[in-house]
Amino acid sequence: MSADAIIIGAGHNGLACALHLASRGWKVLVLESSDTPGGAVKTAQVTLPGFRHDLYAMNLSLFAGSAFHAEHGATLARHGLAFIAAARPFASAFAEGSSPTWLGLEQGLEATLARIGRVSARDAQAWRALDARFEREAPHLFALLGAPLPSWQAARALWRMGRSLGLAGMADSARLLLSSPRDWLSDTFESEAVRCLLAAWGLHLDFAPDVAGGALFPYLEAMAGQRFGMALGQGGADVIVRAMVAALRAAGGELRTGARVRRIHVAGGRAQSVELDDGQRIEARRAVIANVHPGALYGALLGAAAPPGSAQARDLRPGPATMMIHLALDALPAWRASTELQTFAYVHLAPSLQQMAQAYTQAMAGLLPHEPVLVVGQPTVFDPSRAPAGKHVLWVQVRVLPAKPCGDAAGQMAAAHWDDIKDAYAERVLDILERYAPGLRGSVLGRCVLSPADLERDNPNLVGGDSLSGSHHLDQFFLFRPAFGRSRWRTGVGGLFHIGASTWPGAGTGAASGYLLARDLSG
C-alpha cells in the first residue's frame, strides 16, 4: 500500500495538514495510535451520561481566527463545524477582603474601560493607549507569528513592521517580546488587579511573572479577547476534529485509528515508508509528516536513522505539568465575589503575582504547590447542550505542577507517583474552589481527575503532563523550536517533516504548523 503523504498523528495540526493536502489532490493517509482522533482536542462523557467535557483544550479562538479556517472554514461548516461566541471571555477572582474582589474583560473597548476605570482611572487611560498600540502593531505581529521561520514571508513582515512603526515602534515591540509579564505590567498599569488579570495568561504558556519573554501572550490575549471574545465549539471542542475528519474523507483522504507507527524507514537519506506495530509497511511517495513530540520522532521512530544534530530537538525541555479536573454540577458556582462571574467563560483563580510566581517556583522544584493557579472554565454558560437541562459542566485546569512530585510545599503529602496522590491533590483544588465559591462541593454530581501522568498516558506528546509539548521560553521559541537547524518543519531527512505544538509557532489550537507545511508542500 502507498500514499502521497503519510501523516503520523491525528491531532488538529495533523488533520489540518491532511485536509489541505487532500484538497490539492494528494492521496493522504493519517495514522493515529489512539482509538480517538484529536490529540489534545477531545470531548467525552467522563463523569455522568449527558455531561460532555472538553478533556484538555476548551478555547478555540485561535482555530476560529486562523489562516487555515479562513481558507477551509466554509468546507468545515458543511461538515458540522459551528462556534459559539463568548462575549465575556475571562475574569479573575481575588482573595476575600481584596479591593476589588474581581475584575473581568469583555468584548468591546468601552465596556472593558468602564470596568477598569472603576479600579483605576489612570489604568483606564493606559488601557486605551494599549488598545491604540495594538491597532497599529497587531497586523505585523500576527503576520510574523503566522510566517514560516526563516522565510522571505517573515522578512517582509518585519520590513513592513519597520516601515509602519518606525525605529521607536520597532524598539517598543522588541522590548515587549523580551519582557517578563511582571516588568511589562508594572510599567503599564498601577493596579495589582489589572496586572493579575493579564498575568494569569502567562501561566497558560509556561511564563511565570518573572520569566523573560512572557509579556507577549497576556498582551495578545487581552487585546484579542476585548475585540473578538472567545470562540467555543458547539457541543464541545471536538467539533473541529469531527468536521476535519469528515471533510478529509469527503476529499478522498483516509484516517486509521488504532494504528501505531513503530518505525520510519529511511534509505538514501530519504524517508521511504512507515512500519506499523502489526508489521505492515506503507510507502510514502512524496512525504512522511510526523505530528509527534520530537523525543518520539528522533528516538524510537527514526532510531539509528536519526540525522546528526538531532539531540537538541529530541531533548526539547518540557514545561511544567498540568492536571485537569472535570465536574458535573447541579448548579453554576456561587462565586463569593459576585454572581456576575457566572457570565464569563474563564475565571482565573490567581489572586496575586506573588502567588503565581510561588506556585511556579515550587512546581519547578518538584514540589506540589501549596496553592496552584486555577483556570475555571464554564462552557455551559454559553453552550447548555453540553449538559442535561439545568445542569452544568466545570472545566478546571490546574497550573502549574511537577511531572514527578518529590515533595509537598504544604507539607501534607509524601512524595509519590501521581496515580497515588491525584485524588488527594484534587481535594486541595476543591478546597480552593470552595473558598471562592462556597457550597460548590454540594453541587458536584460527578467528577473526573486527570493527573499529569494520565495526560501523558492518553497522549504521549504531552510528556510529563506538559500540555504545551515543550516549554515556550525564549531558548525554545522562534528559530529554536524544536531546535536551531530544524526550521520550516524540516528534519534533516529528505521527505520527512515535523509538525505540532513542539514546532513553530508552538502550542494552541491554531493548526498553524500543519497548515503552513501543507501549503508549502502543495505550492
Q: How far is CA 410 from CA 362, 403, 414, in A?
A: 10, 17, 10
- Residue 382 near residue 84, CB atoms below 8 Å: yes
Three-state DSSP string of 281-308: EEEEEEEEEECCCHHHHHHHHCHHHCCC
Contacts of 168 by beta carbon, 8 Å cutoff, 6+ apart: none
Q: What is the DSSP letter of 11?
A: B
Return the domain boundaries, the chain.
Answer: 2-39+61-84+236-316+466-522, 107-228, 318-458
- Residue 58 near residue 232, CB atoms below 8 Å: yes
DSSP reduced 3-state for 174: helix
Of the candidates 146, 147, 145, 116, the residue with the CA atom closest to the CA atom of residue 131:
116
Contacts of 323 by beta carbon, 8 Å cutoff, 6+ apart: 397, 398, 401, 422, 425, 426, 429, 449, 450, 451, 452, 465
Q: Which three cell numbers stand for residue 70?
A: 479562513
- Residue 373 near residue 349, CB atoms below 8 Å: yes
Peptide bond between residue 482 and the one before it cis (omega within 30 degrees of 0): yes
**Helical axes 181-188 vs 192-199, angle rounded to 10°:** 140
Reading the chain (523 residues) residue by residue, the pLDDT tens digits are 899 999 999 999 999 999 999 999 999 999 999 999 999 999 999 999 999 999 999 999 999 999 999 999 999 999 999 999 999 999 999 998 999 999 999 999 999 999 999 999 999 999 999 999 999 999 999 999 999 999 999 999 999 999 999 999 999 999 999 999 999 999 999 999 999 999 999 999 999 999 999 999 999 999 999 999 999 999 999 999 999 999 999 999 999 999 999 999 999 999 999 999 999 999 999 999 999 999 999 999 999 999 999 999 999 999 999 999 999 999 999 999 999 999 999 999 999 999 999 999 999 999 999 999 999 999 999 999 999 999 999 999 999 999 999 999 999 999 999 999 999 999 999 999 999 999 999 999 999 999 999 999 999 999 999 999 999 999 999 999 999 999 899 999 999 999 999 999 999 999 999 999 999 999 8
Neighbours of 523 (CB within 10 A): 5
Peptide bond between residue 400 and the one before it cis (omega within 30 degrees of 0): yes
- DSSP codes, 483-514: -TT-GGGB-SSBTEEE-STTSTT-SSSS-HHH
Neighbours of 419 (CB within 10 A): 11
Host H or E run for residue 392 = strand 392-401
Cβ-count burial 439-456 (b if 16+ within 10 Å, e if not): ebeebeebbbbbbbbbbb
Q: Which three cell numbers stand for residue 286?
A: 512524496
Q: How far is CA 146 from CA 229, 474, 488, 500, in A?
A: 21, 17, 12, 14
| Domain 318-458 in the same topology as domain 2-39+61-84+236-316+466-522 | no
Q: Where do we find the cell 497550573?
A: 399
31 burial (CB, 10 Å; 0-12 / 13-18 / 19+) is: buried
CA dist., res. 507 & res. 322, Å (int): 14
Q: Where do we find the cell 489550537?
A: 509
Of the candidates 301, 315, 242, 306, the residue with the CA atom closest to the CA atom of residue 269:
306
pTM of model > 0.85: yes
Query: What's the CATH architecture for 2-39+61-84+236-316+466-522?
Result: 3-Layer(bba) Sandwich (3.50)
Neighbours of 187 (CB within 10 A): 11
Of the candidates 327, 322, 476, the residue with the CA atom closest to the CA atom of residue 392:
327
Position 64: which residue type?
A
Total number of residues shown for the chain = 523
Q: What pLDDT score was predicted for residue 523? A: 85
Host H or E run for residue 324 = strand 321-329
- Residue 422 near residue 323, CB atoms below 8 Å: yes
Q: How far is CA 191 from CA 90, 103, 119, 126, 407, in A?
A: 18, 11, 7, 11, 35
- Residue 360 near residue 208, CB atoms below 8 Å: yes
Say whether domain 318-458 belongs to CATH 1.10.3430.
no
Q: What is the dihedral of CA 123, 129, 132, 137, to 10 degrees?
A: -100
Contacts of 237 by beta carbon, 8 Å cutoff, 6+ apart: 41, 42, 43, 54, 57, 58, 60, 509
